[in-house]
């Protein structure tokens, strides 16, 4: 459990480094092409990794069987990206950060309850405490 | 005529929706990773997202598509793309969507504070304010609780 928690924490750290690289890329190529680079290079890299992995055949078989809606993840990601480009420049950073987090947590809790069915009250208390800490920190740094 | 307050509410709604979609993306990728390998998930997500983005750039933005002319190390964005999708898909199936989001944001705050404090990646130096310590302690307490659950 602890290892997984550390992994998720490092995932957040890597997100920031990735955002900084994407930001630089956007400075050179513009917002849209700068982001497209990420998708194109990642697709090629994932394809190469898949071709040289033992999962190629089982993935090909599985990808026909899974329900089509599970493929919507990429589409959701792009829509979220476009929406944030439209809205973020026109809002205060504090507000937009909190709203983005609220949306993520709201949907996250709903998914946990309905789909993953792994919701517990201790977990809920932990989430509340972390969220309150994040909110507080944003307030301190914004002032 | 739309007034300024209405516009702000609309933008707020769009940002909230973006958050919901980001979370939905993580959960769907996690569900997909129960049948398909993490590399497979990463390929599907980036290929479908990339095609959609190309369409958007062509139809709405009407910009010429160029991917060349950057210093080589900026292309590592794609490496991070694969890494992030794989790790988040794995964490979501093991920890759930809400906990993964929480921990990830805590990680983002932590590393941002380190980067700002030392001025890494050529960002302007912003020394760590002791006023943030109680906030970080609160986050840490929450993470301990999550570890118990």
Per-residue pLDDT tens digits for A31-41: 999 999 999 99
Interchain contact, A137 vs B109, CB within 8 Å:
yes
CA atoms of B7 and A90, how far apart (whole Å): 9
Interface of B with A in 61-100 (CB under 8 A): 61, 63, 65-67, 69-71, 74-85, 87-88, 90-100
Structure token pair of residue A32: 């849209």
Structure confidence at residue B1 as a pLDDT band (50, 70, 90): low
Residues of chain A with C-beta less than 8 angstroms from the C-beta of B135: 133-134, 136-137, 140
What mean pLDDT, rounded, does chain A reach? 91
Structure token pair of residue B43: 């390929």
CA atoms of B47 and B138, how far apart (whole Å): 39
Structure token pair of residue B105: 């944001």
Q: Which of B67, B131, B132 sits opposite A37 (nearest CB)?
A: B67
Whether residue A11 contacts residue B88, with contact meaning beta carbons closer than 8 Å, is answered with yes
pLDDT digits (tens, 9 = 90+) for B4-38: 788 888 999 999 999 999 999 999 999 999 999 99
Backbone angles phi, psi at A11, to 5 degrees: -60, -45
- Length reported for chain B: 149
Structure confidence at residue B87 as a pLDDT band (50, 70, 90): very high
Kindly write down the DSSP assignment for every residue of chain A, as one continuous string.
Answer: -HHHHHHHHHHHHHHHHHHHHHHHHHHHH-HHHHHHHHHHHHHHHHHHHHHTSTTHHHHHHHHHHS-GGGGGHHHHHHHHHHHHHHHHTTS-HHHHHHHHHHHHHHHHHHHIIIII----HHHHHHHHHHHHHHHHHHHHHH-
pLDDT digits (tens, 9 = 90+) for A90-143: 888 778 888 898 999 999 999 988 888 888 888 889 999 999 999 899 888 887
């Amino acid at each position: 459990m602890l290892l997984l928690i550390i992994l998720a924490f490092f995932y957040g750290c890597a997100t920031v480094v990735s955002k900084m690289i994407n930001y630089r890329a956007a400075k050179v190529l513009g917002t849209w092409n700068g982001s497209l680079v990420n998708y194109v290079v990642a697709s090629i890299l994932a394809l190469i990794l898949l071709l040289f992995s033992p999962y190629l055949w089982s993935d090909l078989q599985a990808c026909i069987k899974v329900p089509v809606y599970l493929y919507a993840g990429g589409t959701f990601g792009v829509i979220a990206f476009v929406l944030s480009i439209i809205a973020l420049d026109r809002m205060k950073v504090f507000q937009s950060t909190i709203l983005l987090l609220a949306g993520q947590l709201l949907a996250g809790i709903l998914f946990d309850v309905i789909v993953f069915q792994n919701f517990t009250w201790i977990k809920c208390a932990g989430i509340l405490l972390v969220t309150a800490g994040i909110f507080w920190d944003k307030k301190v740094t914004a002032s | 005529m739309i007034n300024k307050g209405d516009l702000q509410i609309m933008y707020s709604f769009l940002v909230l929706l973006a958050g919901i979609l980001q979370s939905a993306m993580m959960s769907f990728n996690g569900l997909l990773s129960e049948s398909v390998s993490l590399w497979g998930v990463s390929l599907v997500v980036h290929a479908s997202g990339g095609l959609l983005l190309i369409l958007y750039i062509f139809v709405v933005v009407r910009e010429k598509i160029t991917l060349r002319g950057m210093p080589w190390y900026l292309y590592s964005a794609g490496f991070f793309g694969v890494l992030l999708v794989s790790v988040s898909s794995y964490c979501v199936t093991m920890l759930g969507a809400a906990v993964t989001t929480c921990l990830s944001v805590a990680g983002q705050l932590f590393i941002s504070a380190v980067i700002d404090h030392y001025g890494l990646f050529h960002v302007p130096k912003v020394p760590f304010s002791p006023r943030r310590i109680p906030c970080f302690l609160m986050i840490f307490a929450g993470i301990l609780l999550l570890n118990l659950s």
